[in-house]
Amino acid sequence: MRAGMGGSQIPSAMSADIRLPPAAAASAADASGAAAPLVDPFGRRITYLRVSVTDRCDLRCVYCMAEDMTFLPKAEVLTLEELDRLCGAFIRLGVEKIRLTGGEPLVRKNVISLVRALGARLGAGGLRELTVTTNGTQLARLADGLRAAGVRRINVSLDTLDPAKFTAITRWGRIEQTLDGIFAARAAGLAVKINAVALKGVNEDEFDRMIAWCGEHGFDLCLIETMPLGEISGDRTEQYLPLSLVRARLRQRWTLEETDYRTGGPARYYVVRETGRRIGFITPLTHNFCESCNRVRLTCTGTLYMCLGQEDAADLRRPLRDPGTDEAGLEAAIREAIARKPRGHDFVIDRRHRRPALARHMSVTGG
């Protein structure tokens, strides 16, 4: 999912690469093997952090956000240094995978500096993987930099292969820009997974074509049910397409073989025998994935959502910006938040009142 820019970019306070103070780097290294892991009240270990670096985007996808969005003021948005410091605290507490999201993360000014800083944390006792979810519009210029910084896999949102339909879904996007970005990423050596939101009456006739296209170019594909987050101009009761139905239709043409492949996220994967590529299904409505949830989401304001589908959140910006809070205090604030992580979400398409399950947009929470 993506969202966010609206014409202007959130400026960063940085003009050069992030550099950790030697003492902070040493502290992280010393604590990495000793800190107790993050475990929620239901015994699930939290190893995956999704970080929204901006709420802004250069597209306005109809299922994600309203066309006329109001974005966050600069003062509320964490600097890239602050985001890196928070990520470092999570890593010391056992987070092994970080995904940068948005909004559209690659419109954040100097975001590659953050990617480099996090990439430096890859390795024994630190991160196992650093990934990015993007709409692809900035990949033509940034793919090589992402690869050099340590990113090896990316997710690119592409809901259709039809140029006119692409513009209608994104409101003002050009498919050529996203396709150029996708192939630039492949050329840079990044593994590409295509994310497509399944929209009833919009792209449901394209999934066979998308499977074939992904097979031809060596991409995996992941289909996602529309999520009832945020007020939009459309009607989600008209958008909603259950993936159980989609999967049954696909099996009329394709052989979907079960696999135990996992990326750490909520998708359930199959191998398409005819192409040799994987297809994943993310089903927050027809079959939720809460029982194995290992994820939390950090917004660009420092708000930590322990569950995508619940409103309870923790303010980490306050301790982060408090001069009296050291690294131990920051870690304690994170642990306190994880202790409130709920068992699961309560997503539902409200057909009676035609309103979202939650008022906040996906662009605020992070995809």
For domain 25-365, the CATH superfamily is Aldolase class I (3.20.20.70)
pLDDT tens figures, 154-196: 999 999 999 999 999 999 899 999 999 999 999 999 999 999 9
Is the per-residue pLDDT at 228 higher than 50?
Answer: yes
Residue 74, C-beta contacts closer than 8 angstroms, at least 6 positions apart: 10, 11
| Residue 300 known to bind ligand | no
| Residue 227 known to bind ligand | yes
Given pLDDT bands bounded at 50, 70 and 90, which one contains residue 64?
A: confident
| Residue 307 known to bind ligand | yes
Q: Specify the pTM.
A: 0.83
pLDDT tens figures, 4-49: 333 333 333 343 445 443 333 333 334 444 578 999 999 999 999 9
* 48 sits in which H/E element: strand 48-52
What pLDDT sits at residue 262? 86
Average pLDDT, the chain: 84
Compute the half-sphere exposure of residue 293: CA atoms within 13 Å on the CB side of its CA: 24
| Residue 57 known to bind ligand | yes
Phi-psi region of 269 (alpha: psi -120 to 50; beta: other; left: phi over 0): beta
| Residue 99 known to bind ligand | yes
- How far apart CA 243 and CA 282 sit, in angstroms, is 8
| Residue 293 known to bind ligand | yes
SS3 47: coil
Name the percent of the chain lying above pLDDT 70.
79
Is the per-residue pLDDT at 63 higher than 90?
Answer: no
Query: Given CA atoms 157, 162, 163, 165 in this order, what sign does their dihedral have?
Result: negative
| Residue 215 known to bind ligand | no
What pLDDT sits at residue 237? 61
Is the per-residue pLDDT at 52 higher than 50?
Answer: yes
pLDDT tens figures, 65-104: 778 777 888 899 999 999 999 999 999 999 999 999 999 9
What pLDDT sits at residue 345? 57
| Residue 290 known to bind ligand | yes
| Residue 249 known to bind ligand | no
Question: CA–CA distance from 28 to each of 6, 24, 31, 44, 111 (Å)?
Answer: 37, 6, 5, 23, 22
Q: Tell me if 273 sits within 8 A of 234, measured CB to CB.
A: no
Could you give phi then psi for residue 358, rounded to 5 degrees? -135, 145
| Residue 295 known to bind ligand | yes
| Residue 64 known to bind ligand | yes
| Residue 186 known to bind ligand | no
Segment 289-311 mean pLDDT:
85
Question: Can the peptide bond before residue 103 be classed as cis, meaning omega within 30 degrees of 0?
Answer: yes
Q: Tell me if 147 sits within 8 A of 36, measured CB to CB.
A: no
Is the per-residue pLDDT at 233 higher than 60?
Answer: no
| Residue 50 known to bind ligand | yes
| Residue 157 known to bind ligand | yes
